[in-house]
Chain A
Amino acid sequence: MTAPALEIAGLNKRFGGLPATRDVSLQVMPGERRLIIGPNGAGKTTLFNLVTGDLSADSGSVKLFGQELMGMRTPDRVHRGLARTYQILTLFPREKLVHNVVLALLGLDKLRWNPWAVLTGHRHLYEQAREALAQVGLADSAERIVAETSYGERRRLELAMALAQKPKVLLLDEPLAGLSQGERQSVRSLLDKVPRGVTIVMIEHDMDTALGFAERITLLHYGEVILEGTRAEVVADPRTREVYLGD
């Protein structure tokens, strides 16, 4: 039997007296497209932070292809095939787009410890970075400074940085937030092109665009998984309307 790409079991996190996630358990199978939905404050981003190690869980387990991640530092989780994008853009605004992707590639390359080699001399890194930028339609903007690009371009850059690392599991935290309708469709079609070797877990509020993408949906409410199922099952369930979609 194939091990789930991402397996979360009994995950708990409290901030003082406030429970952020309560006994969250879910399994995402390899190649699956999973959508995490829920109202603001439901604990979606906290769940991602617990998976990546940005936050440490009070109890529970997170496994990546059967390997326990709890107690492991964030960079080690990344080296095992985890990548993510952030809801609030976290880029290197004073650098060129290509340099941002090079930093992503360096993160998995032993070359990052070299204090003597000249970085720009390693052309293979720059070629790979340009390929990743071309993948998201930013080939012509590679030499531009991030601070001079549009919000939509920055969103795509985040995606390029994550994809450049050839992750096994990709966590996307609201990748369509703040984008125009046209840009949303463009990012959506980019995501459709991501190979099935990459399992995607996505948090998104734009249901019109995200529903078509997801194969299974998990609904979080007050830090708890209250519903999980196929697209049709979740949309048809009255609890989804009650806590999230409304009437």
Chain B
Amino acid sequence: MNRKSIAVAIGATACAAVPWIITNDYFVNLASQILIYALLALSLNLLLGYGGMVSLGHAAFLGLTGYSTILLVLAGHDQLTTAILSVVFSTACGALFGVLALRASGIGFLMITLALGQIVWGIAYRANELTGGDNGLTLPARPVPFGIDINSASNFYHFTLIVFAIALFCIWRMTRSPFGAALCGTRDQPRRMSMLGHNVWMIQWLTFVIASFWGSISGLLYIYYNLFMSPHAISLQQSAEALLMAILGGATTLSGPIVGAVIITIVKNVVSTYIERWNILLGLIFVIVIMFMPNGLVPGCRQLWQSIQSRRKAPAPETKSASEPAP
């Protein structure tokens, strides 16, 4: 077992033990929220960090899954069928959004995703009869996976942790796969990749679909956690926060969006109880991190650690003995 595997095992054990270490339900629920937003940021980071595509409409997948889950449950479908259909519906919308968004690149791509996100938000806000408008919709109950009640804070946390761990493993595998290598290639040199025989558009579109799938899974967790969906949950601010999580932690790394989600969720939920204008603090954190670690916290800390290590390893400069005659 190498050091990396040991670190992963310790990390996984620590995560699983959270409800026993922190017995307060409020903080266990906060940990569940962190996992949900971390998954949303991880899915967005497939586009941003690995694909070089900046999206400002990713929260739409929270809404598409959330609203369809509630509507299907209210229509009388069982929870498992509902979950599958909601994720399929949301991912299919992602596939369509991808076709539209990939007609442009750079700022054009950003603006199209922003517009698509706003369309979903607009429908949620205006289609009162379907979505409840500003009042939102309520999910009657959480599912009971394999007969296990996930209503308690600790059980729900473990349920979320399992889903998150599966998602993280799949995303990790993807980033190390031939497809992941091709995706990074299209981010760095799209023209060159095309001339090497890679279908750049298809790679980007498939990534968009995969990102929407994992975004939809986080949407499913979101609706199970909150049991309520309103337009506020899928606003531009939500998409921007997910983007901020990925950038703050480090978009070029797998762990960066998780670190970003931890910081932003804690600032939003904990610090906001003490500081009214918590947004200012969040902005300040973001500016400071970007000033001193432009690639984000994880790559920045890694760089810092490496420079400390290399300084330690560097031989100390030779000191001249006192008896040595002056030149």
Q: Is the CB of B182 within 8 A of A75?
A: no
Q: Is the CB of B173 within 8 A of A115?
A: yes
* Interface residue? A117 (CB, 8 A): yes
Of the 9-residue stretches A13-21, A100-108, A218-226, A235-243, which lies at the interface with chain B? A100-108
Q: Is the CB of A103 within 8 A of B196?
A: yes
* Interface residue? A114 (CB, 8 A): yes
Q: Is the CB of B192 within 8 A of A91?
A: yes
Q: Which of B169-194 contact A (CB under 8 A)?
A: 173-174, 176-182, 185, 188-189, 191-194
Q: Which of B188-235 contact A (CB under 8 A)?
A: 188-189, 191-200, 206, 210
Bound Cα distance A75, B198 (Å): 6
Q: Is the CB of A112 within 8 A of B178?
A: yes
Q: A162 → chain B, closest Cβ, in Å?
A: 9
Q: Jot down 5 A-B pairs with beta carbons below 8 A, ordered by A.
A: A54-B191, A78-B195, A90-B189, A92-B192, A109-B178
Total A-B Cβ pairs within 8 A: 87
Residue of B whose beta carbon sits closest to that of A93? B188
Instruction: Report whether over half of chain B's contact residues are helix, strand or loop; otherwise say mixed.
Output: helix
Q: Which of B8-61 contact A (CB under 8 A)?
A: none
6 tightest CB-CB pairs across the interface, nearest first? A107-B197, A107-B196, A78-B197, A115-B179, A90-B192, A74-B194
Q: B206 → chain A, closest Cβ, in Å?
A: 8
Q: B310 → chain A, closest Cβ, in Å?
A: 16
Q: Is the CB of A106 within 8 A of B182?
A: yes
* Interface residue? A165 (CB, 8 A): yes
CB-CB under 8 A from B194, the residues of chain A are 54, 73-75, 78
How many chain A residues touch the partner (CB < 8 A)? 36
Give A residues with C-beta under 8 Å from B: 52, 54, 73-75, 78-79, 83-84, 86, 90-94, 99, 102-104, 106-109, 111-120, 122, 161, 165
Of the candidates B188, B189, B198, B210, the one having the most CB atoms from chain A within 10 angstroms of its own CB is B198
Bound Cα distance A86, B195 (Å): 10
Q: Is the CB of A114 within 8 A of B198?
A: no
Q: A22 → chain B, closest Cβ, in Å?
A: 25
CB-CB under 8 A from A79, the residues of chain B are 197
Q: Is the CB of B179 within 8 A of A92?
A: no
Q: B184 → chain A, closest Cβ, in Å?
A: 8
Q: Is the CB of B185 within 8 A of A119?
A: no
CB-CB under 8 A from B195, the residues of chain A are 52, 54, 74, 78, 83-84
Our pick among A93, A108, A112, A165 for the contact of B179 (Cβ within 8 Å) is A112
CB-CB under 8 A from B180, the residues of chain A are 115, 119
Residue of B whose beta carbon sits closest to that of A84? B195
Bound Cα distance A114, B174 (Å): 8
Q: Is the CB of B196 within 8 A of A115?
A: no
Q: B38 → chain A, closest Cβ, in Å?
A: 20
CB-CB under 8 A from A165, the residues of chain B are 196-197
Q: Is the CB of A107 within 8 A of B198?
A: yes
Q: Given the known A-B contacts A91-B192, A94-B188, are A118 and B199 also in contact in the complex, defined by CB atoms under 8 Å?
A: no
Bound Cα distance A75, B178 (Å): 17
Q: Is the CB of A119 within 8 A of B178?
A: yes
Q: Is the CB of A115 within 8 A of B193?
A: no
Q: Given the known A-B contacts A54-B191, A119-B178, are A75 and B199 also in contact in the complex, defined by CB atoms under 8 Å?
A: yes
Bound Cα distance A60, B240 (Å): 48
CB-CB under 8 A from B182, the residues of chain A are 103, 106, 112
Q: Is the CB of A108 within 8 A of B197?
A: yes
